[in-house]
Every structure is written in C-alpha cells, then in structure tokens.
Amino acid sequence: MMIYLAEFLGSFFLVGTVVGSGIMGERLSPDNMAVALLGNTIATGAILFVLIKMFGSISGAHFNPAVSTVFLLRKEIDVKKFTYYVFYQLAGGLLAIGVIHFIFNNPPNYGLDIFQISTHEARSSTWALLVSEIIATSGLILTILFVRKSDSGSVATAVALFITAGYWFTSSTSFANPMVTISRIFTDTFTGISPSSVPYFLIGQFLGVLVAYLICKKVK
C-alpha cells in the first residue's frame, strides 16, 4: 500500500506545485508572461527533484502514466500494479486541483471554483503540439532509463533539469505527463488547458513513450 500512497502524494504535490506556482506567477506578474512562466518552471523543477528523492525508493517515483507505461512494456511492473499506479496518480492530481483552488481563492472574489473547465487553448498548432510532446515525453523517458542505468543516484537531478529545460525548448511547455495533462483540464488558470487540446497532448505523450521504448530496446 505504501507504494500507492507514494504515487498519490507525489502526484498531489507535483500538480499542486505546477498549478499553484502558475497562479502565483500570474498574480505577481500579470503583464509579463515570461516571468510567470519562469517562476512556474523553477518551482516545477524543484519539486520534481524533491519528490523523486523522497519517494524513489518506495514506488520508483513515477507520478506519470507515461513512465508507468514504459515500465509496464519493459515488464518491470505488471498490469495490476500499472492500473493502481495510474489510478492513484490521477486521484492525487485531481485532489491537488481542488486544494490549490481553495487556498488561492482568497479573497473569494478571485472566482476559483473547486473545479473548473479550462478555456485556455494551446498556444501552438496541433502538429507543433503533437511533435513537442513526442520530443518532451521521449526525452523524459530516455533521461530516466539511461541515467538510471549509468548513475541511479542522479535520476532526480536529471529529470528535474530535463523538465526545467523542456518548458523552454518545446512549444507545448513540455507537459510529458498524461496525469498532469488531464488534471489541468480542471483549472482555468495560468496552467490550464482546454479539453479540445488534450487529445493532441495525450497522443504525443504516448507516441513519445513508444519512441523511447524502441530506442532503449535497440541500444540494449
């Protein structure tokens, strides 16, 4: 049970940090999206490092159905464990949305309902979005698998740095995580993403998983 609690808590803190830092960044820099994004980036990279260090020895610190999928394909987890991982990841992410909206809805006139449907369309064309997420997700998976093999103690640092960089070298801001993508449907704030854009994120992410899996098979 501890492994699923770790995935739940890790996903909660990851989504909470992504969404909360986005709200804070936008409020402090309402006329400067670059500064808001920079704050969002730094917070996300920092919490990823902490969470992987905290929970890596318990659950493997997936917090991401894409990561769980590649471990399923590699037969490092079975279907039952994969199903529980994804369930607790989504549960943690969705709870985080409600909690972050609650704590940032102060005073109440900010208009943050516990759950909202985002109206934020993706800033990129569908093809650019798709390719960005293929690159971001495959890069993340390759980072995890290759660094784990060469220097397992550095996985937290490598993942945190890759995602921090990915915010800025992909037009999608490197979601690379289906759980985070789905959770962000329910916040109409800085980091929200409209339901109409979500399929392109998800398709790109799972294609990225396949690309990374095939590359690792070839290298192996």
Average pLDDT, stretch 192-207? 94
Residue 28's domain is classified under what CATH number?
1.20.1080.10
Instruction: Note the pTM of the prediction, 2 decimals.
Output: 0.95
User: What b/e sequence results for 6-40 when a residue is b if at least 16 CB atoms lie within 10 Å of its CB, and e otherwise?
Assistant: bbbbbbbbbbbbbbbbbbbbbeeeeeeeeebbebb
Burial label, 52 (beta-carbon count in 10 A; 0-12, 13-18, 19+): buried
Q: Write down the residue that tokens 């990915």 correspond to.
A: 166
In the predicted model, is pLDDT for residue 109 greater than 60?
Answer: no
In the predicted model, is pLDDT for residue 188 greater than 70?
Answer: yes
Domain that residue 132 falls in: 2-108+115-219
Q: How far apart are CA 219 and CA 155, in angstroms?
A: 19
Cβ atoms of 172 and 136 within 8 Å: the answer is yes
Q: How far apart are CA 28 and CA 22, in angstroms?
A: 10
Total domains in the chain come to: 1
| The pLDDT value given to residue 52 | 98
